[in-house]
Amino acid sequence: MTLNVLIVDDSPVMRSFVKRVLKMSGLETGLLLEAGDGKQALAVMQEHPMDLVLTDINMPEMNGEQLLRTLQADAVLRKTPVVVVSTDARLDRVDQMMSLGASGYVTKPFTPEGLRHEVERVLGVAHV
């Protein structure tokens, strides 16, 4: 299964890092698209069906929380699994994002193995 992934982060450096780690993870990736905030992410998702969204929380315009709320309100887009990628490791923060509709959570910094493990768990498959 080839994964089309949307990477959402306001930091271009972090987007490049996530992209590189994804490629090193052993996950079979297809389209790797980027967005700098939630609004851009929604625009990309309207054009390209994604298999997975990896999103930061703190971003201008539309943050990760608002992105999750907006996706959940959309009958089609809510089906795309979202994994939050954040430096915030507090359990109440993780719980909050999961209750808003996130399927997974990865804490920065993370390893290729850590990312792969969480993506596979979210997608419910042993080998992607």
Q: Is 34 in the site for Mg ion (CB under 5 A)?
A: no
Task: List the one residue out of 58, 109, 49, 120 whose CA is nearest residue 83.
Answer: 120
Contact status: 10 vs Mg ion (CB under 5 A): yes
Rank residues 97 and 123 by Cβ distance to Mg ion and give the closer one.
Answer: 97
Helix, strand and coil in the chain, % to nearest 5: 45, 20, 35
The reply on whether position 65 binds Mg ion by CB under 5 A is: no
Interaction between residue 88 and Mg ion (CB under 5 A):
no
Of 37, 56, 65, 118, the one binding Mg ion (CB under 5 A) is 56
Q: Closer CB to Mg ion, residue 56 or residue 118?
A: 56
Residue type, 8: V
58 counts as binding Mg ion under rule CB under 5 A: yes
Minimal distance, residue 63 CB to Mg ion, in Å: 8
82: left (phi over 0), alpha (psi -120 to 50) or beta: beta
Nearest Cα neighbor of 18 from 5, 31, 1 is 5
First to last CA, the chain: 6
The residue range among 31-39, 51-59, 77-85, 114-122 that interacts with Mg ion, by the rule CB under 5 A, is 51-59
Q: Which residues make up the interface to Mg ion (CB under 5 A)?
A: 10, 56, 58
